[in-house]
C-alpha cells in the first residue's frame, strides 16, 4: 500500500515538473482557437435569414 502511494506521489511530482517546464503561452499552431469559426458564422447568418423570413411571412 505504501509503495502504491509513493508511486502515485512520484507520478504527480513528475507531471507537475513537466507542466512548469512548458512554455506558456504556446505559439499558435494547429488547433489554435484564435481563428474565427467560419462554419459558425455561416450558421448564424443562415439562422438570422430564416428568422427574418418567418417574421416577414407573419
Instruction: Give the torsion through C-alpha atoms of 13, 16, 21, 25, to 10 deg.
Output: 180
- 55/52 Cα distance (integer angstroms): 5
pLDDT in tens, the chain (58 residues): 999 999 999 999 999 998 888 776 655 556 666 667 788 899 999 999 988 888 877 6
Read off the pTM: 0.41
φ, ψ for residue 10, nearest 5 deg: -65, -40
Distance CA 7, CA 1 (A): 10
Amino acid at each position: 500500500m505504501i509503495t502504491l502511494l509513493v508511486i502515485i506521489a512520484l507520478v504527480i511530482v513528475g507531471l507537475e515538473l513537466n507542466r512548469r517546464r512548458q512554455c506558456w503561452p504556446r505559439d499558435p499552431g494547429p488547433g489554435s482557437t484564435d481563428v474565427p469559426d467560419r462554419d459558425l458564422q455561416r450558421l448564424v447568418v443562415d439562422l438570422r435569414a430564416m428568422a427574418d423570413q418567418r417574421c416577414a411571412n407573419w
